[in-house]
Amino acid sequence: MDADWAKGKATLVTGGARGMGRAIALAFAGAGARVVVADLLDDLGSETASMIVAAGGEAVYQHTDVSDGAAVAAAVAAAVDAYGGLDFAVNAAAIEFERGPIAECEDDDFDRMISVNLRSVFLSLKHEIRAMLAAGRGGAIVNIASTNSFRPQPNQPAYTASKHGVLGLTRATAVDYGKHGIRVNCICPGGIDTPMLRNAIERRGGDPAEVAGRLSLLGRFGEPSEIAEAALWLCSPGSSYTTGHALAVDAGYLAR
């Protein structure tokens, strides 16, 4: 595989301010891509872009509410305007804040979860696909789903519903746009050591060591960089025959 396959390629990463999104943005920049970091967390998002630039890469930060269509369209336009098109996109923005089962789920909380975790992927795919079609050179998109897309955790009804939806959107979009040279896949992370996971464990009064043992056959949490490597591969020529696929990066959790 050409070592420079990502060099100069325009890449959009939503949720790029921290956690998996930041690791993904840094990894693509490290491979030579030019990156638009899209997020609501302005200080952290700008920091991600600054880290890329300080390391000799190209990046800009775009303030983006991923649940708002106009904001997502503006983020895609920022990539097109800055870098002449869009080659890759990784839709990583997500939230998780639940405490109880569906009978205790507030309507507004369900709506918010679906808006940020699922509507955002719909909006992102729509505008990313449009940009790729306009450029006429194909592309690759990776959505961050979850092991919850296949195996729900307790007390996460809205999150689980949203991640089932991400899997469905991934497959439906792959079916429709493969003929245009656009590949669409998703990653289903297991227990990855991010602020969102740590906050969830603390919110539920859990023990990190117990959770790591329960979620992983390897007895540890995954690192965000391990998800970033998977995203890189799914956009690379090495995965050129892969589309509509859900790649579990979960230390064997779904196999248990």
pLDDT along the chain (256 residues), means of 10: 91 98 98 98 98 98 98 98 97 95 97 98 98 97 98 95 98 98 98 89 87 92 97 98 98 94
Q: Which CA distances in Å does 12 have to 73, 75, 92, 240? A: 12, 8, 10, 19
Residue with tokens 């497959």, as numbered in its chain: 171
Q: Respond yes or no: is residue 159 known to be catalytic.
A: yes
Instruction: Provide CB contacts within 8 A for 5, sequence distance 6+.
Output: 31, 236, 237
Q: Cα(220)–Cα(210) distance, rounded to whole angstroms?
A: 10
Please tell me the predicted confidence (pLDDT) of residue 196. 87
Please tell me the predicted confidence (pLDDT) of residue 3. 81
Q: Is the dihedral of CA 74, 76, 81, 83 positive or negative?
A: positive
Q: According to the 3-state scheme, what is the secondary structure of the chain?
A: CCCCCCCCCEEEEECCCCHHHHHHHHHHHHCCCEEEEEECCHHHHHHHHHHHHHCCCEEEEEECCCCCHHHHHHHHHHHHHHHCCCCEEEECCCCCCCCCCHHHCCHHHHHHHHHHHHHHHHHHHHHHHHHHHHHCCCEEEEEECCHHHCCCCCCCHHHHHHHHHHHHHHHHHHHHHHHHCEEEEEEEECCECCHHHHHHHHHCCCCHHHHHHHHCCCCCCECHHHHHHHHHHHHCHHHCCCCCCEEEECCCHHHC
Write down the catalytic residue from 159, 177, 241, 253: 159
Please tell me the predicted confidence (pLDDT) of residue 29. 98
Sequence spans of domains, the chain = 10-247
Listed residue (192, 181, 245) closest to 218, CA to CA: 192
CATH number of 10-247: 3.40.50.720
Q: Note the pTM of the prediction, 2 decimals.
A: 0.96
